[in-house]
Amino acid sequence: MVLLTKEYIQQTKGKDMSWQDAITLSAKPLLAKKIISNDYVNNVITVCREKGPYMNIGSQIVLAHARPLPSTKQACLALLQTTEEIFLINDKHPARLWFFLATPDATSHVDILQQLTAILIDDSKLQQLLAAKSVDALANVFSGK
């Protein structure tokens, strides 16, 4: 199964956006399909604010997530790439790849996480994601084209 398809990928310039804006926008396709609720997005933002920038899991990458909520219908992932860097919490944590992860329980997201980990640890794929100029180019990294 392809980890991320076009309908869950967005790209924007990112100018004047806050990290809260980036997280909210990254979750939009999942909200629109009612796979997740607004409560979950708010939880993610609250966790970031309270616990700091630890979701900046690698250079230029944020993995936005929070504890499972029953309102999450299924394990899911979305991606927002910004042309400009947006700081998560402070200027030590610039990011351009904003992944948004949700899961209804402690195990449903294992496959997603495994596939995502395999892509992010592969430096050539990561560079392709950062260099991509369109949603199509981003989607191609996940479909292996």
Partner 1 sequence: MKFLCICQSGLGSSFMVQMNIQSILKAMNVKEEITVDHSDVGSTTPDLADYFFIEKTLGETVANLPKDRVILLNSLIDKNEIQAAITKILDKENIAHS
Among 54, 111, 127, 131, binds partner 1 (CB under 8 A): 54
Bridging pattern class, strands 94-102 and 60-64: parallel
The answer to whether 134 contacts partner 1 (rule: CB under 8 A) is no
- Residue 61 Cα distances to 37, 72, 94, 129, angstroms: 23, 23, 8, 10
116's CB contacts (< 8 A; 6+ apart) are 3, 63, 77, 99, 101
Q: How far is the CB of 52 from partner 1 (least distance, A)?
A: 5
Query: Between 29 and 68, whose beta carbon lies closer to partner 1?
Result: 68
The answer to whether 94 contacts partner 1 (rule: CB under 8 A) is no
135's CB contacts (< 8 A; 6+ apart) are 6, 9, 10, 11
The answer to whether 47 contacts partner 1 (rule: CB under 8 A) is yes
Chain positions 61 to 90 lying near partner 1, rule: CB under 8 A, are: 61, 63, 65-68
Query: Between 12 and 119, whose beta carbon lies closer to partner 1?
Result: 119
Among 106, 124, 144, 145, binds partner 1 (CB under 8 A): 106
Query: Between 12 and 94, whose beta carbon lies closer to partner 1?
Result: 94
CB 47 within 8 A of CB 89: no
Cα separation, 65 vs 68, in Å, equals: 9
Q: How far is the CB of 121 from partner 1 (least distance, A)?
A: 5
Cα separation, 43 vs 67, in Å, equals: 8
What residues make contact with partner 1 under the rule CB under 8 A?
Answer: 47, 51-59, 61, 63, 65-68, 101, 103, 106, 109-110, 113-114, 116-117, 120-121, 126
